């Protein structure tokens, strides 16, 4: 896979022979919240990984750091935040909508890293969303928590459909923390169950890798990590690129719809 960005507003993603052209509509899209009521599912790591991959390929990305623990802000304070990535902190339920809209005027990609609870601030973020990513580990307990996020998304759809009957808020589950060498029976079973319910799921998974944890340990992008300290950097980079490419693919399909 390879991602080739023409400029900030126009991107060309090349994936196994298929081209996805992302045009000027990036000026109004996308805002992508990463949500899950359960903590520890790799939500923040996934958000940062995808953002860094897009920036690496030439895009500009804003991350709205809406987690009270401010993990993104602390990461950026390490001094290795690339020029194409902006982290906006000081987010509350009263200002998140305005911060998202301001960011969307500057950068074509706006990601929102939300706290791992079903708080009111999540509802405000969903009101500004164009697509939602729900990270989930491969367990039935995590699936139950992800179901709460999906229910919240559907509630948001119903609320806005009162005024815009055709409104829909697309989303997909992204499996995280999965083994690199095999697929567990539980994950396979969950995929079948969720698919049978009509729930969209990423084909790509964010695997369990030391290199992804090292993002926050050493507070620097994958390509700036020390290979003597962090194993599997090449594999992690390939995994990050695959996830980012599928994110672009899914967003491009929403544009075309």
CATH number, domain containing residue 175: 3.40.50.300
Q: How confident is the model at residue 235 (pLDDT cuts 50, 70, 90)?
A: very high
Residue 219 belongs to some domain of the structure: yes
pTM of the model: 0.89
pLDDT at 28 over 90: no
Q: How confident is the model at residue 66 (pLDDT cuts 50, 70, 90)?
A: very high
**How confident is the model at residue 118, as a pLDDT?**
61
Residue 22 belongs to some domain of the structure: no
Contact 49, 40 (CB under 8 A): no
Query: Structurally, how many domains does the chain consist of?
Result: 1
Residue 15 belongs to some domain of the structure: no
Residue 196 belongs to some domain of the structure: yes
Instruction: Work out the average pLDDT over 23-29.
Output: 42
Span 113-167, pLDDT tens digits: 998 766 789 999 999 999 999 999 999 999 999 999 999 999 999 998 988 999 9
Residue 5 belongs to some domain of the structure: no
Domain range for residue 44?
A: 28-256
Span 174-229, pLDDT tens digits: 999 999 999 999 999 999 999 999 999 999 999 999 999 999 999 999 999 999 99
């Amino acid at each position: 896979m390879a991602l080739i960005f023409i400029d900030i507003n126009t991107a060309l993603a090349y994936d196994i022979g298929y081209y996805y052209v992302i045009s000027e509509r990036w000026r109004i899209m996308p805002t992508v919240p990463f949500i899950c009521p359960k903590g520890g599912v790799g939500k923040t790591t996934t958000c940062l990984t995808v953002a860094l991959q897009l920036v690496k390929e030439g895009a500009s990305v804003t991350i709205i750091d809406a987690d009270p623990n401010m993990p993104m802000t602390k990461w950026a304070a390490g001094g290795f935040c690339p020029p194409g990535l902006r982290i906006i902190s000081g987010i509350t339920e009263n200002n998140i909508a305005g911060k998202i809209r301001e960011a969307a005027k500057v950068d074509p990609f706006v990601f929102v890293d939300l706290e791992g609870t079903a708080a009111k601030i999540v509802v405000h973020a969903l009101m500004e969303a164009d697509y939602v990513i729900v990270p989930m580990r491969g367990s039935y307990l995590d699936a139950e928590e992800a179901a709460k996020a999906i229910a919240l998304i559907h509630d948001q759809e119903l609320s806005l459909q009162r005024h815009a009957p055709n409104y829909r808020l697309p989303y997909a589950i992204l499996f995280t923390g999965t083994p690199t060498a095999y697929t567990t029976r539980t994950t396979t079973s969950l995929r079948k169950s969720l698919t049978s319910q009509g729930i969209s799921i990423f084909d790509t998974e964010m695997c369990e890798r030391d290199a992804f944890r090292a993002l926050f340990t050493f507070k620097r992008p994958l390509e700036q990590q020390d290979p003597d300290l962090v194993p599997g950097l090449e594999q992690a980079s390939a995994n990050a690129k695959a996830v980012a490419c599928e994110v672009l693919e899914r967003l491009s399909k929403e544009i075309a719809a």
